[in-house]
Amino acid sequence: MGLAQRTADEVDSNVRGAEMAVEKTAALVPWLSEQAGRIEEARRIPEDVAERLFDTKLFDLMRPSRFGGFGVSPRFAWEATFHVANGCSSSAWLAGLTSANIIMLGKFSAEAQKEIFAPGVSPIVPMLTGGVGQDIKIEPVDGGIILSGRWRYASGVDVSDWLGLLINIPGQSDAPTPHVVLVPQSEFSIDHQSWRVMGMRGTGSKNITLGKTFVPSHRFMNWAELQAGKKHATCPNIEPVYDFPLNTANAMSVLAPTLGVATACSEESIKIIRARINSGNQQAQINDKIAQVDAGTSAATMSFLRDFLISETAAIEEQILRSGILSLEERGLSRTKVTIASRQALTSAQRLFAALGGSMLPEGTRIERLFRDIHAMSSHFLLQPEPIAEAYGRLLLGLELSPGTRL
């Protein structure tokens, strides 16, 4: 059997494994649904929930095959995240973000990957790249840096072993250069009282503090190279997923749970409408034509938007195979479409919420939790249409991008 045939067999095996992982996440939904209230009350992902998620092999979908993962298309991760969202919004948020973070980690140096993807190491690696650091101090030393500081929004930090931080590392002569650096979770102190929020309470996106800690240079990755889709010079991974545009993967990773939760909003609202008596006319709401229109429109909209995310992922992969890279205009178009999809999902959910009236009010119900979660998710900076559409519009009009634009 030739090398090409063995490679094809390996790809087929990984795809079958990925399909089984997606099926396992779907099978976990009833149990996750039962745990959702407990997860929210804990304001973090409990260890037993993390272990059940790990057991589905959800986090092996993006993991390099050389480390026992499947290294398949991100579409499998988005499909698995849709399922998880039907059971628990916070778990879905972690599933989506972690999938994109693993893609990023798969671009790092071979030495760093041996540490991050070692047996028994948690696949949850919070990546704090959104300008959430404070009091950051960096001292270049032989072989690396001494780093200290404070950061917010470390999603899943309670069940992680590593964290990634975007920092500006001083150079000998040039201006500081943005890098993502990897630091063990054990080096941080966690503020367990810091995550008091309206929605997505179970993500445990807490504040963290790092005292003076040595970070070796093999755990650095240049941020500009990451954003351009490049890999570290020693990165051995050849699976196409590690050529996926970083910011596009990040945006899709927050859209996937948002669409999953919006779908759950639609399904739960339809369930309530089936049993609800309209307080105004004392008639069954199921017979109201507006309710019928809302139910049909929301279900179709959510099916359309989920299909969009899967097809957009495939289109990007095909473009990478053809040319090896996406142009700024292509990335801008894709990013803009992702934000529009998020806004459409929120609009669809809000229309249903308005039709439910007082059914939305009781605290602790599934629909009340979904209401808070969909609004929290869709407020993420990667899903805001205006700044991304502005950047894409500037490209179309032949203007330079604003400094710091992330496409």
Rg of the chain taking only CA atoms, in angstroms: 22
pLDDT one-digit tens code per residue, 324-379: 888 999 999 999 999 999 999 999 999 999 989 888 888 889 999 999 999 999 99
| pLDDT at residue 170 tops 80 | yes
Question: Class for domain 127-224, per CATH?
Answer: mainly beta
Share of the chain above pLDDT 70, in %: 98
Of 280 and 306, more confident: 306
State the average pLDDT over residues 79-93: 98
With a CB cutoff of 8 Å and minimum separation 6, the contacts of 248 are: 316, 326, 331, 334, 335, 338
pLDDT for 2 equals 35
The dihedral sign for the CA sequence 263, 264, 267, 272: negative
> Are 181 and 215 in contact, with CB atoms under 8 Å apart?
yes
pLDDT for 134 equals 94
pLDDT one-digit tens code per residue, 212-222: 999 999 999 99
> Are 185 and 160 in contact, with CB atoms under 8 Å apart?
yes
Q: Which among 56, 66, 75, 67 has a CA at the least distance from the CA of 15?
A: 75
State the average pLDDT over residues 187-196: 97
- Three-class secondary structure of residue 11 per DSSP: helix
Q: What does the domain layout of the chain look like in residue ranges?
A: 3-116, 127-224, 245-396
| pLDDT at residue 39 tops 80 | yes
Query: What string of DSSP letters covers 210-277?
Result: EEEEEEEGGGEEEHHHHHTT---TT-----GGGGS-HHHHHHHHHHHHHHHHHHHHHHHHHHHHHH-B
pLDDT for 172 equals 65
pLDDT one-digit tens code per residue, 143-159: 999 999 999 999 999 99
Q: Give the DSSP letter of residue 286.
A: G
Residue 120 phi, psi dihedral angles, 5° rounding:
85, -5
**CA atoms of 236 and 381, how far apart (whole Å):** 32
Q: Do domains 127-224 and 245-396 have the same CATH topology?
A: no
pLDDT one-digit tens code per residue, 27-37: 999 999 999 99
The dihedral sign for the CA sequence 380, 385, 386, 389: positive
pLDDT one-digit tens code per residue, 96-137: 999 999 999 999 999 999 999 999 999 999 999 988 999 999
| pLDDT at residue 294 tops 90 | yes
pLDDT one-digit tens code per residue, 234-258: 999 999 999 999 999 999 999 999 9
Q: How confident is the model at residue 4 (pLDDT cuts 50, 70, 90)?
A: very low
CATH of domain 3-116: 1.10.540.10
- Tell me the pLDDT of the chain averaged across its residues: 94
Q: How confident is the model at residue 229 (pLDDT cuts 50, 70, 90)?
A: confident
Any idea which fold 245-396 has? Butyryl-CoA Dehydrogenase, subunit A; domain 3 (1.20.140)
| pLDDT at residue 3 tops 60 | no
Query: What is the token pair recorded at 83?
Result: 């399922």
pLDDT for 404 equals 81
pLDDT for 277 equals 87
pLDDT for 323 equals 87
State the average pLDDT over residues 77-81: 98
- Length of the chain, in residues: 407
pLDDT for 173 equals 66
Of 68 and 227, more confident: 68
State the average pLDDT over residues 393-398: 97
